[in-house]
Amino acid sequence: MTVYKAPVDDYMFVLHELLRVQELASLEAFANVSADMTRQILEGAATFCEEVYHPLNAIGDEQGCVLENGVVRTPDGFADAYRHYCEAGWNRLGAPEERGGAGMPGVVVLPASEFAVSANAGLSLYSGLTNAAHATLARTGAEWMQEHVVPRMVDGAWSGTMCLTEPHCGTDLRLMKTRAVAQPDGSYRITGTKIFISGGDHDLTDNIIHLVLAKLPNTDGKWVDDLATVNFFMVPKFNLDPSTGRMLDRNDVSVGGVEKKMGIRGNPACVLNFDGAVGYRLAGGASAPGKQSSSAGMAGMFAMMNRARLGTGIAALAVAEKAAQNADAYARTRVAGKSRPGSGVPHTISEYPDVKRLLMRQRAFIEGARALGAWVSLQIDLEQASNDAAQRRRSGNLATLLTPVIKACFSDGAFQAANDAVQVYGGHGYIRDNGVEQFVRDTRIYQIYEGANGVQAFDLVARKMPAQGGGLVTTFLDEINATIAEASLVPALDACTAALRDGRDDLVLAAKWVAASGGDEHGDAAGGSYDVMSIFGVVAIGLMWLRVAKVAWDRIEAGEGDPRFYRRKLALARYWVQRELPLTRVLLERARLGNDGVVDLAAAHF
């Protein structure tokens, strides 16, 4: 049996001391944001997740989702818990008020999302995907969808999915075989097979709104392997009357199977068969009624993918948080070794330096990554909400650059943290009833979801870094340099500041090397991409730790707050800059090898 306590205090620190979101009240989106309000939301979400979602986590893993008579049945208790979640409004904190949501900025919604995933990764995925889907529909759907579909998804009565992958193709969308045939009434008939569809069917909601990639014939009427023919469609499980939104008969979408998965077993990965199912093209939507186009729909799809990538990173972190809490609790109670003379206290394994190292590594990663995720989430908010065009551009640059980094580096670090938890438990970690091995199985997917981490690395070096002539990287470096300048005023932080400076220098060299290496998918930058991405991850978390350390130092100096909290943060910052930041040197050396020694080994040699 596992434990979970939502990290409310840590998020209060991140939002209101580190990011100081309360000072953004001049922006309309942040008008209602205060520390009191945030704490109220976070404590409510924490209680719900701890008491309702968390107890169903092991049950979800044990029972999994079962296909019966063509319908997927979720584990015991999921349907009730999901209904309570939506009734309490936790699913729609971030949805626009005009569509029934609470209209909170993303950075305030983020903690509640993390708590839900920590408590129950499988169960929270249904609403996570639904939120991504209705936000996409809101951008790209026709007016009747805005009016009749989006509100039902916002209130949780209906859920949403993303249907991209097919049996023979995932990342390479060109190879897709699902076809869409235009009908005289403006709708389409969709035919094809999609796989790995999370929440593809279930018994939590009355209807499911599938967002589906499918091909149209080209201008010659032929089906070709060309990305330009791929379009984006809405396909409901039950047909809808566009004029009223009323549910009609069952659409021709059926569940071909539910995969047996390594983890996230509370959410089904479905095979969905579309057999001439009624679909509607998403081509720009109400926001630009005169400009409906395929590219608008695809842009919506990519926007959805970007949100999903960030969400994947945060989800990974969420499971890591729970794993670390359990490792810590176990290490403090497991007796081994001789008590220190005269102490009278049993010696627990948490006293061993190598166990401490594992606990510290988890914490330094998780809390540094949490700050980074929140900071990037804030950039996404500011990109929309800021009144300052330069700020909007800078924020957009940071979010764009760091999205693949967060997705990949958070999932890599979270997987390590989950494994560290098992290691702390020793043999007991390998036993299912103790619950921690589930975190390993659950976190393993986040390195794959929404584009495997190698694809993220290529996206970083081939698209994000070259964009705007390297402008995104420059914006990021400006942030690092400003932080270094500010922290340099505090001599006590000199070691941390120097370490970040070294990390920055390696990042600059990596960026120069990438710029000189070109973005071809077989080029040197591709060969070095993973190491380059890892440099960004280590440095970005290091940047956050220096900022955290500065805040913590200032608070201690000022005699404000609980000094134990801040001293702990300083210790974790030190851990990261001493033990993780120096990795950039080796990462840089390796990155610059590019394809040397990798590609020159002909495939035939294996």
Q: Which residues are catalytic?
A: 450
For a copy of itself, the binding residue among 186, 432, 481, 492 (CB under 8 A) is 432
Could you say which residues in the range 160-179 bind a copy of itself, by CB under 8 A? Answer: 165, 168-172, 174-175
440: number of Cβ within 10 Å: 21
Helix axes of 494-517 and 471-487: crossing angle, nearest 10 degrees? 170
For a copy of itself, the binding residue among 126, 280, 530, 545 (CB under 8 A) is 530
Closer by beta carbon to a copy of itself, 530 or else 553 = 530
Q: Report d(CA 119, CA 459) in Å as an integer.
A: 31
User: Beta strand 188-198 with 238-240: parallel, antiparallel or unpaired?
Assistant: unpaired
Closer by beta carbon to a copy of itself, 29 or else 541 = 541
Q: Report d(CA 175, CA 548) in Å as an integer.
A: 46
Segment lying near a copy of itself (by CB under 8 A), choices 3-11, 205-213, 307-315, 437-445: 437-445
Q: Which of 279, 276, 282 is nearest to 191 (CA)?
A: 276
Could you say which residues in the range 399-418 bind a copy of itself, by CB under 8 A? Answer: 415
Number of amino acids touching a copy of itself (CB under 8 A): 91
For a copy of itself, the binding residue among 259, 275, 478, 557 (CB under 8 A) is 259
Closer by beta carbon to a copy of itself, 31 or else 598 = 598
Q: How far is CA 19 from the centre of its chain?
A: 20
Q: Which of 428, 375, 429 is nearest to 541 (CA)?
A: 375
- Block residue for tokens 């149209």: 216
**Smallest distance, a copy of itself to C-beta of residue 106, A:** 27
Could you say which residues in the range 271-330 bind a copy of itself, by CB under 8 A? Answer: 328
SS3 (DSSP) at 494: helix
Give me the torsion for CA of 568, 573, 578, 583, rounded to 10°.
Answer: 140
Could you say which residues in the range 188-217 bind a copy of itself, by CB under 8 A? Answer: 195-196
For a copy of itself, the binding residue among 39, 392, 393, 441 (CB under 8 A) is 441
Q: Report d(CA 568, CA 573) in Å as an integer.
A: 9
For a copy of itself, the binding residue among 69, 354, 390, 559 (CB under 8 A) is 354
Helix axes of 294-333 and 436-443: crossing angle, nearest 10 degrees? 160
Query: What binding mask, one character per residue, do residues 322-351 give for a copy of itself by CB under 8 A, x or -?
Result: ------x---x--xxxx-----------xx
Q: Does 564 bind a copy of itself (CB under 8 A)?
A: yes
551: number of Cβ within 10 Å: 19
Closer by beta carbon to a copy of itself, 141 or else 528 = 528
**Smallest distance, a copy of itself to C-beta of residue 603, A:** 6
Closer by beta carbon to a copy of itself, 141 or else 451 = 451
Residue 167 contacts by C-beta under 8 Å, 6 or more apart in sequence? 193, 195
Closer by beta carbon to a copy of itself, 205 or else 326 = 326
74: left (phi over 0), alpha (psi -120 to 50) or beta: beta
For a copy of itself, the binding residue among 357, 388, 485, 560 (CB under 8 A) is 357
Q: Which of 125, 152, 123, 117 is nearest to 137 (CA)?
A: 152
405: number of Cβ within 10 Å: 29
Query: What binding mask, one character per residue, do residues 573-602 give for a copy of itself by CB under 8 A, x or -?
Result: -xx--xx--xx-xx--xx--x-xxxxxxx-
Does the CA dihedral 461-465-466-467 come out positive or negative?
positive
For a copy of itself, the binding residue among 215, 444, 464, 547 (CB under 8 A) is 444
Q: Does 431 bind a copy of itself (CB under 8 A)?
A: yes
Q: Does 419 bind a copy of itself (CB under 8 A)?
A: yes
Could you say which residues in the range 76-135 bind a copy of itself, by CB under 8 A? Answer: none
